[in-house]
A and B are shown apart, each in its own frame.
Chain A
């Protein structure tokens, strides 16, 4: 046991000199898709949809933490607020689900812009604290505001008809909509990471003063990735509201911000597939260990401690190290 395994400890970065998606990434994405198309025949579809929503949420968070190097401790604000707005739009305004989801997502983006433009002025722990403080304000707002339904939340959200045509009360239709949203979202994040923008983002994460000295106005890049991350977290939250037909305080509470950090670190921060694995593991644990009641939190905490002690790079990070392939 060495305490100093890799002093720098940075995340594994996809090395793509020529550009384009490397073959093993295409294979993994294709495999995931096949698996997920087959999954509802073997597992409870709502359970898989929950994993998909959280996988997207964690990937959005990882975009900010793993690639932007910014630890937000208030991502529940975007996830939860989008969930409320989507639920409200579907239930009260009677919008079709896709429009309701878009409303929620956009509101999360705007909220991300407002909070982000203030938070990015500070670094490290101060950044985390500012995002947490704002998220707590959003929580308080959600508790007090009329449209959120306070302690009750917004219940019995209608799933409606997609584009006014496809009845989402059908489990299969809903499942494939959620699969499409999550997959498209994750692929978009993949593209962001592997874009010219993503390249600058990594440079800023790796060495901010150097990026500045090369003439990059780093705060604009940080704000851009913050807004992208908040928007995609919102997409996940809004989708979840349609799936569970519910928007509640749980999704906007600070423990939700903590949970997404946990998923990302457990799966592997700064890896493409880590957050998906992290989300799947945590959601599965919460579902199957639900009978233990409050003990779930303790078991979750222990797993987190063990993972940080034994494999700091996260599940996928470790696999990536073994196989010497960026995942």
Chain B
């Protein structure tokens, strides 16, 4: 185990009836970095994400988090270790208020909440913390608004606040900028930069200017395999990467 690696995948493979969505991917995410996973459509980025968080089971391969083998753990248990993911489509609880959304995550501190006989008043103990998190992402004035009534950019911000409520050591962000207006992109970029201060982030992102400005390391996937890895300058000059993105015959 090399030093400073927090999440590692070895020969990660997912086969769907003869089709290899992800094939022999080796990935090492170093502690404290923002690591981006990029690649053309259908390269297997999201599959990779689902494998790492066990929303899909790998056909073969091994995943280690902080040196522990997590390959056979359940998604919920992986989240409990501090490895928390987001989703491509905004993942909020639509008919709960912004405050309640964040509180659902804070409530995890109680352990399991099977106490159906107790009033939810006990949850108001988390209200101040939830408000602080909402303020952190600029949603203070929306705490009583149902998540479904928030704009797209604000939903993503709420999602980040909810994720941060778990205070995870590592975040996996699946296309945090997808479908966002330009001013939102800048706001969320700054937010990601800020929260990365004492965390590790692995993100799938299509917006290359965001990737260029945020990431320390970039892994390029194409057809389920790792094509190249390195910082933006290295990766963007790689012939194979240019070919995969633009197609052959453009040079």
Contacts and interface: CB of A to CB of B under 8 A. Distances in A.
A, B assembled together: yes
Interface of A: 8, 10-13, 15-20, 191-192, 194-200, 202-203, 206-207, 209-218, 220-221, 224, 228
B141 interface: no
Contacts of A228: 116
B27 interface: no
B116 A195 contact: yes
Interface stretch (B1-9, B72-80, B194-202, B225-233): B72-80
A12 B97 CA distance: 12
Contacts of B86: 213
A202 B96 CA distance: 8
B124 A19 contact: yes
Interface in B70-96: 74-77, 79-80, 84-87, 91-96
Given A199-B104, A199-B107, A17 B95 contact: no
A213 B84 contact: yes
B148 interface: yes
B250 to A, nearest CB: 39
Interface residues on B, range: 35 or more
A209 B55 contact: yes
Given A191-B119, A212-B75, A214-B105, A200 B94 contact: no
Interface string B51-67: 00101000000000000
30 contacts: A12-B95, A13-B96, A17-B99, A17-B127, A18-B121, A19-B122, A19-B124, A20-B121, A195-B118, A195-B120, A196-B113, A197-B113, A198-B120, A199-B100, A199-B104, A200-B107, A203-B104, A207-B94, A209-B91, A210-B87, A211-B104, A213-B91, A214-B79, A214-B108, A215-B77, A215-B79, A215-B80, A215-B108, A215-B166, A218-B76
Interface in B182-198: none
Contacts of A224: 114, 116
Given A215-B108, A221-B114, 7 more contacts: A13-B146, A18-B121, A19-B122, A197-B116, A200-B104, A203-B104, A214-B108
Interface of B: 53, 55, 74-77, 79-80, 84-87, 91-97, 99-100, 103-105, 107-108, 110, 112-124, 127, 143-144, 146, 148, 162, 166
Contact of B120 (A12, A199, A221): A199
A216 B115 contact: no
Contacts, number: 132
B58 to A, nearest CB: 17
Contacts of B107: 196, 199-200
B96 A206 contact: yes
Contact of A217 (B74, B84, B103): B74
B79 A206 contact: no
A8 B148 contact: yes
Contacts of B80: 215
B33 to A, nearest CB: 21
Given A196-B122, A224-B116, A213 B93 contact: no
B241 to A, nearest CB: 30
Nearest to A206: B93
A89 B155 CA distance: 55
Contacts of B87: 209-210, 213
Contacts of B112: 217, 220
Nearest to A16: B120
Q: Which among B92, B104, B124, B148 has the highest number of chain A CB atoms within 10 Å? A: B104
Nearest to B124: A19
B127 to A, nearest CB: 7
A19 B100 CA distance: 11
A237 B206 CA distance: 57
B115 to A, nearest CB: 6
Nearest to A188: B117
Contacts of A197: 113-116, 118
Contact of A19 (B93, B120, B146): B120
A214 B162 contact: yes
Contact of B113 (A10, A194, A200, A218): A200
Nearest to A211: B104
